[in-house]
Each structure stands twice: as C-alpha cells, then as structure tokens.
C-alpha cells in the first residue's frame, strides 16, 4: 500500500472519530436540556419560579440545566416553610 494512502486512511478515521464524538456530545447536551425542562415543569415550584428556571435554561442551556440539577431541583422538593 502506498504511504499516501495510509495517511489518507488515518485522516478519514480521525474525521469519523471527531464527527462521532461531536455527535455524542451534542446528543448528551440535548438530553440534559430536555431532562431539565421536564424536571422543572414537573416540580412543585410555583408558576413564577418555574418560569424563571425555564427562561434561565433557555438563555444558558448548559449552565442552566446543570444548575437546575445541582441547586434548583433540590430546593423544589424541600418542604414548604410556614
């Protein structure tokens, strides 16, 4: 096999690998975002707080989703203060 053909084959392999990894990351991001939206809308928060979290999730999809699962979700299920 000609050396140029070997190099071209490796470049094509790397291209497919990068494309696959990019697709996997985008899919994971979309699943995280959709899971956060479903969780926000299904929480026991008031309508106003749900709206704030949904707007935050749409304005900063990755950070908003992560913060919802790290902070917001826990606060949504705490017993109400009297």
Task: State yes or no: pLDDT of 12 exceeds 90.
Answer: no
Residue 72 near residue 40, CB atoms below 8 Å? yes
| CA pair distance 30, 22, nearest whole angstrom | 12
This prediction has a pTM of 0.74
Give the pLDDT band (50/70/90) at residue 13: confident
Task: Find tokens 């699962």 and name the residue.
Answer: 69
Residue 42 tokens read as 């299904």
User: Exposed (0-12), middle (13-18) or buried (19+): which is 47, by Cβ within 10 Å?
Assistant: exposed
pLDDT in tens, 24-67: 999 999 999 999 999 999 998 889 999 999 999 999 999 999 99
């Amino acid at each position: 096999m000609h050396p140029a053909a070997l190099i071209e084959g490796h470049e094509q392999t790397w291209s497919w690998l990068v494309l696959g990894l990019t697709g996997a990351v985008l899919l994971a991001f979309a699943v995280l975002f959709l899971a956060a939206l479903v969780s926000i809308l299904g929480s026991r928060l008031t309508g106003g707080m749900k709206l704030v979290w949904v707007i935050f999730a749409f304005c900063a999809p990755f950070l908003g989703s992560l913060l919802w699962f790290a902070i917001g979700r826990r606060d949504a299920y705490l017993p109400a203060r009297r």
